[in-house]
Chain A
Amino acid sequence: MRNIYLIFSKELKSYFTSPIAYVVITIFLIITGYFFYNILATFSLISFQAETNPIIARQYNLLNINESVVRPLFGNISMIMLLMMPLLTMRLFAEEKKTGTIELLLTYPVKDVEVLVGKFLACVAVFGVMLFSTITYPVLLILLGEPEIGPIVTGYLGLFLLGVAFISLGIFTSSLTENQIVSATIAFGALIIFWLLSYSMLFAPPEIGRLISYISMTEHLESLAKGVLDTEDILYYVNFTLLFLFLTLRSIESRRWRG
């Protein structure tokens, strides 16, 4: 435990001594804020028109804040997370491989798994700060309107689990290479494929479609954002994360098999 904590706090510090964490969090907040503003502006415009014009009101049967603000907002946040997360994870192992510090670290009396978990948790913590900062948006909604709290909470849970899954995949690609750009690029590619899988569902035969919908990362977020707390969705993210952490561990250990 002590070793995990030591690695964790060192990594966390280095996120904040280098500009990475600040830059990523700032850009993330600017973009999500921009989306939030636009979604909200559209929503208030429509509700304003709906008040005077019953036809529009019938046409947009969406005058529910949860449906027309919270869910699109979560969708946007998850998309931006996909773009930001590989930038947080890319350095975790690649940098140490490049500079050679991994050689010292792994010859200290520390288990590989402790190194991995420490780094993983540090990244999760940075992401936690990043995600928590967006809480101002739903708080504003609560102050201005009357959204249902349940879907907001489960939606946040979904976003958090989704982000953690992104991190595990990002750490894995970081352990494969000593080049941070390569690591981030592979992570983007893989995440986008997991993301877009839901599109190919439309053309696939139903059995395969079900499988695809299970693998696709978006599908599981959808139901959580609707406020449906299904263990299957949660298990999906947990399994996804554990799988990639396990693969990362293998990848770090692989130096012990080669040759």
Chain B
Amino acid sequence: MIEVKELVKEYGDFRAVDGITFSVEKGEILGFLGPNGAGKTTTMRILTCFFPPTGGTAKVSGFDCFTESLEVRKRIGYLPESVPLYLDMKVKDYLEFAAALKGVESGEVDRKVARVMGECGIEHMAGRLIKELSKGYRQRVGLAQALVNDPEVLILDEPTIGLDPRQIIEIRKLIKELAGRRTVILSTHILPEVSMVCKRVIIINKGRLVAVDTPDNLTARVQGAGRVALGVRGPAEAIKERLETIRGVKKVVIDGRRDDGTMGLSVEFEKGVDPRPEIPEAIVGSGWDLLEMKTQELSLEDIFIRLITREEGMVQ
């Protein structure tokens, strides 16, 4: 449905997107993940034909985003990051305007606008000026305009940014419901969002592709046997050195002194080894106190940061 090959975008001398290749199947919800400035918005603007790539190609439904941009634009619904709406228009008037411009037949406009307002839960706001709406409702109007022409592809740039936690949950639910048989690309830097909504994730950093996989596989890929957090009383450096002598320990990080006076350390293991039973032994045996030991799962946040730092390590 969406095919991106060797995509490059330069702003002057600055390369914002640097050789990204990926594809999205019909009906898939793809999470587009990356820190600020990774190039998410830039990639989406190319896909929505706002500007062309400097190099490489992007295709939607088989149409090239540059040479057949009108065909592509007929098939997509786009919600830009800043949710730009005409603030002086009323919700319903605005959606009718968007529907007609997006090629909905005159006779169909009323019906489609009514339907999309229902789906997005904004019927009771129909007569209100957009500038009077709260951020959450503006987001819904933004979604509604993206959906109004029943597009095959939905491109949503950080659709939950700036919302309160309840609205975030609502909007996520809405996106999941509305996705239906559509192909969706959704960018975010909130990781739980991705594992909740998306079946597949692309991680980009500094314009480069870092990983493409399902959220579960990504977790498995980076995660070894895991790691433990320790609370100890004793000299941090010495404890760290002692722990590092244990077989199977990959890395020990001193997290710092906690409020209760204990020292926090986290211990990471190699893949497939579990040195946990030896840890208390090593600490207590050296005359220090072990006050706490907790196994930790790697969260998507950790995976994210790890993938990105690993990538940067490779580049250097």
Chain A residues in the interface with B (C-beta under 8 A): 2-3, 6-7, 10, 14, 17-18, 99-111, 255-256, 258-259
Partner of A6, one of B45, B84, B89, B97: B97
B49:A107 contact, CB within 8 angstroms = yes
Q: How far is the CA of A103 from the CA of B84 in the complex (A)?
A: 8
Interface of A is mostly: helix
**Known interface pairs A104-B145, A108-B98; A256-B52 also in contact (CB < 8 Å):** yes
Name which of B7-15, B202-210, B211-219 contacts chain A.
Answer: B7-15
A256:B88 contact, CB within 8 angstroms = no
Residue B305 lies at the interface, judged by CB distance under 8 Å to chain A? no
Q: How far is the CA of A234 from the CA of B45 in the complex (A)?
A: 42
The A-contacting residues of B in range 1-29, CB under 8 angstroms, are: 9-12
Which residues of B sit under 8 angstroms from A100, Cβ to Cβ?
A: 80, 82, 84
Partner of B88, one of A7, A18, A105, A111: A18
Partner of B74, one of A109, A111, A259: A109
Name which of B99-107, B237-245, B248-256 contacts chain A.
Answer: B99-107
Which residues of A sit under 8 angstroms from B85, Cβ to Cβ?
A: 101, 104
A109:B70 contact, CB within 8 angstroms = yes
Residue B73 lies at the interface, judged by CB distance under 8 Å to chain A? yes
Q: How far is the CB of B56 from chain A (nearest CB, A)?
A: 13
Partner of A101, one of B12, B45, B48, B86: B86
Chain B residues in the interface with A (C-beta under 8 A): 9-12, 45, 48-52, 54, 70, 73-74, 76, 78, 80, 82, 84-89, 97-98, 100-103, 145
Q: How far is the CA of A150 from the CA of B50 in the complex (A)?
A: 50
Give 8 nearest A-B pairs by CB, closest first.
A100-B84, A109-B73, A101-B84, A107-B48, A109-B74, A259-B10, A108-B101, A100-B82
Q: How far is the CA of A102 from the CA of B86 in the complex (A)?
A: 10
Which residues of A sit under 8 angstroms from B101, Cβ to Cβ?
A: 3, 6-7, 105, 108-110
A107:B73 contact, CB within 8 angstroms = yes
Which residues of B sit under 8 angstroms from A109, Cβ to Cβ?
A: 70, 73-74, 101-103
Q: How far is the CB of A66 from chain B (nearest CB, A)?
A: 44
Select the residue from A106, A109, A256, A258 with max chain B CB neighbours within 10 A. A109
Q: How far is the CA of A63 from the CA of B181 in the complex (A)?
A: 80
Q: How far is the CA of A258 from the CA of B48 in the complex (A)?
A: 17
List, sorted by A's number, 23 A–B pairs whose CB atoms are closer than 8 Å: A6-B97, A10-B86, A17-B88, A18-B88, A99-B87, A100-B82, A100-B84, A101-B86, A103-B50, A103-B80, A104-B78, A104-B84, A106-B50, A107-B50, A107-B78, A108-B73, A109-B70, A109-B102, A109-B103, A111-B70, A255-B50, A255-B51, A256-B51
Apart from the given pairs A2-B100, A109-B73, A258-B51, 7 other A-B contacts in the complex at a CB distance below 8 Å: A10-B97, A14-B86, A103-B80, A107-B48, A107-B76, A258-B11, A259-B12
A103:B45 contact, CB within 8 angstroms = yes
Q: How far is the CA of A105 from the CA of B100 in the complex (A)?
A: 12
A259:B80 contact, CB within 8 angstroms = no
**Known interface pairs A99-B87, A109-B103; A104-B80 also in contact (CB < 8 Å):** yes
Q: How far is the CA of A111 from the CA of B49 in the complex (A)?
A: 12
Q: Which chain B residue lies CB-closest to A14?
A: B88
Q: How far is the CA of A259 from the CA of B11 in the complex (A)?
A: 5
Q: How far is the CB of B110 from chain A (nearest CB, A)?
A: 15
Which residues of A sit under 8 angstroms from B80, Cβ to Cβ?
A: 100, 103-104
Q: How far is the CB of A76 from chain B (nearest CB, A)?
A: 33
Q: How far is the CB of A102 from chain B (nearest CB, A)?
A: 8
**Known interface pairs A107-B73, A108-B101; A259-B54 also in contact (CB < 8 Å):** yes
Which residues of B sit under 8 angstroms from A102, Cβ to Cβ?
A: 84
Q: How far is the CB of A113 from chain B (nearest CB, A)?
A: 12
Which residues of B sit under 8 angstroms from A101, Cβ to Cβ?
A: 84-86
Q: How far is the CA of A100 from the CA of B84 in the complex (A)?
A: 5
Select the residue from A10, A103, A258, A259 with max chain B CB neighbours within 10 A. A259
